[in-house]
Amino acid sequence: MEIVSFRTPGLGDQSHLLVHEGRGVLVDPQRDVDRFLRVVAERDVELRFVLETHLHNDYVSGAEQAALRTGAELVLPAAAAAAYRHTPAFHLEDLAGGRGLVVRPIHTPGHTPEHTSYLVLADGEPAALFSGGSLLVASAGRPDLLGPERARTLARLQYGSLRRLAALPPRTGLFPTHGEGSFCTSSGAGRHTSTIGAELTGNPLLALAVGGTDAAEPGAPTDAAGPGSSMDAAGPGSSMDAGDAAEAFADALLAEPMPIPAFYRHMGRANTLGVPPMPSPRVPELTATAVHAAARVVDVRPRRAQAQGALPGSVGIEPGDDFGSWAGWLLPYRTPIVLVAERDQDVTEEVVQLARIGMDTVCGVVRDLGPAATQTFTLVDLPAFLRHLALPGAQVLDVRMPAERKAARLDGAVERFLPDLVTEGVPEALDQDRPVLVACGSGRRASIAATLLAGEGHRPVVLTGAGIPDVITARTAHQAA
């Protein structure tokens, strides 16, 4: 058996291809399915199943298109009730793939109500668990993405789901979809796959779920998680009141909620109704004067080029693994988009990242701005930033996440997380008549924020190559000297 994992770092996700005796199972493929199907063809694999663990909140699924293109059987959780043809997966009702390959659905609600994990058995032995957004490496899937009203109920369900999976044999491989870098997970571990046994000793949330009650012994015989085994009854035991244990787990899971990207609210509907195939990554060339007034301009040039001159009102987002996530978070969904790039800059990756989250509205790319490039900001290194900070009347904007600010706070800084500059506006405390010193953790988010500020008439001075923690350390060292 071979398992090939496909990482998508910007979304913090991975899809998986399991191959056994020439037959394959593709799990949670993203919309750009060519990269998966290319490996299927290279290995001469007969794709038997395409599995979806849940209706994803963070990207548009490619499962339907992968199944249509290969003739594989598309399997979704029964409770997903997607609007396109598929095989519904019911709890512990096996799906036979032939040649000793069996897929066993396990209902694991918590990340979403319909969430289903899949245990793959090879020749009768548990070989791999595809846990989607349920049990993750050193973590668990977030229960609050469907709204705060349902978060506690889903957190309690996640408690039972983790206990259910903990009863699998310790050697069972764990292959989650969400991981470090994903806003669907409650924390990160720096690892992307694991085993049930490793998680029992190294996952604090799993330890909390199984530690307060009489969970089934992980190594105990489970009849390969068949009906009537501890997999069916791995709910709370009697050493602690079941409700109290679930509530304590929910308290821990919901203790420090992270922000939810704006585009997430559109993904569930898209994945329920179905989406068309991936659009072409090729976009036409436009002149700066041909940009439609209704279009949003996204400048994908390096930040130094953006600082020297950009189109007024444009949002500057440098290329990177997380380009699509930031664009989806900061731009109105389904708004026409025009990219600005350097003359020889390939924008294929940026178009693909946008399409992964259903933003198929890129209508062109501008490569020559001419005299229209009037929006500017200033980039400085740490020593120059500290000199600006020491001037009378200096004002600082910290655009990091709340959790980052909690760990290291700069006295006197105005605090507003980058996406909140769009939803809440630029803080009124910032004076347009004075430069605004903008910082984050490294300079990436600060440079994006600078373009938003410049579009509102401010004069941003961006700390690049360093962040707020570096400023705090340098100020502390100076005061101690």
Q: Is residue 257 classed exposed, middle or buried when 0-12, 13-18 and 19+ CB atoms within 10 A define those classes? A: middle
Q: What is the pLDDT of residues 302-325, one digit of tens each?
A: 999 999 999 999 999 999 999 999
Helix residue ranges, H only, 17-147: 34-42, 63-70
240: pLDDT strictly greater than 70:
no
What is the spatial distance between Cα 8 and Cα 33, in angstroms, rounded to a whole number? 12
Residue 466's nearest CA partner among 375, 384, 409 is: 384
Phi-psi region of 333 (alpha: psi -120 to 50; beta: other; left: phi over 0): beta
- pLDDT for 188 equals 52
Residue 247's nearest CA partner among 110, 166, 155, 165 is: 155
159: pLDDT strictly greater than 50:
yes
- pLDDT for 213 equals 45
- Kindly indicate the confidence band of residue 175, based on its pLDDT and cuts at 50, 70 and 90: very high
Type of residue at 49: F
Q: What is the pLDDT of residues 249-283, one digit of tens each?
A: 999 999 988 999 999 999 999 999 999 999 999 99
- pLDDT for 476 equals 87
Helix residue ranges, H only, 84-225: 148-166, 196-202, 204-211
What is the spatial distance between Cα 14 and Cα 105, in angstroms, rounded to a whole number? 19
Q: How high does pLDDT run on average in the chain?
A: 92
- pLDDT for 185 equals 62
* pTM, entire model: 0.91
Calculate the alpha carbon distances from 373 to 58, 343, 360, 423, 451 in Å.
34, 15, 26, 26, 12
207: pLDDT strictly greater than 50:
yes
Q: How far apart are the first and last CA of the chain?
A: 61
- pLDDT for 228 equals 32
- pLDDT for 234 equals 36
Q: What is the pLDDT of residues 404-427, one digit of tens each?
A: 999 999 999 999 999 999 999 999
118: pLDDT strictly greater than 70:
yes
What is the spatial distance between Cα 391 and Cα 82, in angstroms, rounded to a whole number? 59
